[in-house]
Structure 1
């Protein structure tokens, strides 16, 4: 009997080893499954879906390496507290408002003509553009969002806030900016200048341009935020497209009703400036005779992003309050 018991002990030990081993493997499998589930949850939390003009795309939950492939949106991204890893265009050379803010940030090529290899080397996690023709190239590098250039500041900054997961910052900026604009508008009313008619004129080497309210040059500030009017002929010519080219002979007809004229002269337009401003057609304009022609820097009023708008609101209001 004792011998039988002794022989049975190894068998019990062997069974015990199998049981322990089975439990261990089960625990390891369960632990591995839990780790994978947690990993899947983390991955899911790191991305989100965004409804873009090109359909539903996945974006990082909180983009950290934003490439701005058009110079017009650089100031919007900066205003929301995000420093881009790369920007396009000549903004770092020309804009008085952005130069210091983007010093040291990589330039990735001409505006709307991004150097694809340089862009890839920056490893962006989101790319912003307004050019649908660049979408296919850029979207191969990183998730790319096309935001139309003709969006007003409110819609554009709201949308960029969604892309960057900075909705709170976007709403705060809009509220603060519009509150400031209301104060400026009231200052004009108090100075009996709340109903002046304003035209924006820009000269190039060969052309005379009228500017509307969607092509920079302070148009959105003047005509929407400050709620000043354009002369009817200016509105008819320039508002639909955002700008219009006119001949010298059209000056009295187009600008004759303007109380104030903003005049920008491009770098190659010195001869054109002399020709126009010395002409009798120009000198007979009421705004000219009243001393209400306000020269502006094309570089200063070219942009219409959030940072540019903040500066321009002060500058333009000061012009009218002189």
Structure 2
């Protein structure tokens, strides 16, 4: 009797289990609530199957603020992002990695890798996880965010931020021009190491906001030498030639700032008029939403005092 009961019991379990399995897809299909596990993203190099809801992203060439702004989890970042004080809280427990550190990336078990088109070991990285790269400067700073939004399946959120930011930046630009005059010029100069640089309209340090969103004027000398390449190295002796009526001075904490003690610098009109605004160099070389929001606040406070 016992021998007969066991097979009957097993058959009942199998029947119940089969019925249960048969009902699930019907409910799923009826509700239509199941999200796809992967989406096809059209990258620069062709179509790539990427997670529809990435959970473990590795960033090898910046774009960190873009991903963080869209609320996606980051497990590995490049050295510049890791050392960026703007992201210190968010990246406190995130690993520092590089395109040559394949073993460490494997250990992080990423489901998506993002970098610039010049990263090393791209083919090997693709074997670890879907890998998408971008050419620096191919897209403007706002379009880049929308593009990353598409990659992360968050295009609507990215576009919403872009629309709002443009509106606020343009409004602030109108206020600034109303205060300083339509013809007033603004320079963005940086002290890094022992060198001085002047920047064009698309090289971070607030340049995109000042020249693109706010439409403030760039000194002709800056336009002539820095606009095409994006930046230009200058000496302290020729600094007055590149200084606008207003100067944003980005300074790294370990930069050689002895040029500020020279008469050449002290006699620049912007310096004499108290129209030089110092920006912290660390973290200024990014153009993501987190950094841009910080820079917009800095520019607004510097020019308008609020």
Do the aligned residues in 1 keep the contact of 2:38 with 2:49 (CA within 8 Å)? yes
Report how many residues are paired: 279
Tell me how far 1:128 sits from its aligned partner. 0.7
CA distance in 2, matches of 1:290, 1:149: 37
Tell me how far 1:67 sits from its aligned partner. 1.6
Do the aligned residues in 2 keep the contact of 1:86 with 1:108 (CA within 8 Å)? yes
Tell me how far 1:181 sits from its aligned partner. 0.9
Q: Structure 1 residues 319 and 122, CA, compared in 2 at 3 Å: closer, same or farther?
A: same
Structure 1 or 2: more helix by fraction: 1
Tell me how far 1:86 sits from its aligned partner. 2.1
Q: Structure 1 residues 194 and 320, CA, compared in 2 at 3 Å: closer, same or farther?
A: farther
Q: Structure 1 residues 189 and 85, CA, compared in 2 at 3 Å: closer, same or farther?
A: same
Q: Deviations over 1:97-120 (max 9, x none)?
A: 211122222x1424xx45211111
Tell me how far 1:195 sits from its aligned partner. 4.0
1:101 is aligned to 90
SS in 2 for 1:303: coil
CA distance in 1, matches of 2:262, 2:77: 42
CA distance in 2, matches of 1:214, 1:309: 13
Residue of structure 1 aligned with 2:81, choices 60, 82, 91? 91
SS in 1 for 2:233: strand
Tell me how far 1:225 sits from its aligned partner. 1.1
Where structure 1 has 5 or more consecutive residues not aligned to the other structure, the ranges are 1-27
2:3 is aligned to none
CA distance in 1, matches of 2:118, 2:193: 30
Greater CA drift, 227-236 or 174-183: 174-183
CA distance in 1, matches of 2:36, 2:97: 33
CA distance in 1, matches of 2:156, 2:131: 22
TM-score by length of 2: 0.82
TM-score by length of 1: 0.78
CA distance in 1, matches of 2:117, 2:43: 13
1:75 is aligned to 65
Residue of structure 1 aligned with 2:175, choices 144, 166, 187? 187
1:25 is aligned to none
SS in 2 for 1:157: helix
Higher alpha-carbon Rg: 1
Q: Deviations over 1:130-154 (max 9, x none)?
A: 1433322321211111122213221
Tell me how far 1:320 sits from its aligned partner. 1.5
Q: Structure 1 residues 300 and 49, CA, compared in 2 at 3 Å: closer, same or farther?
A: closer
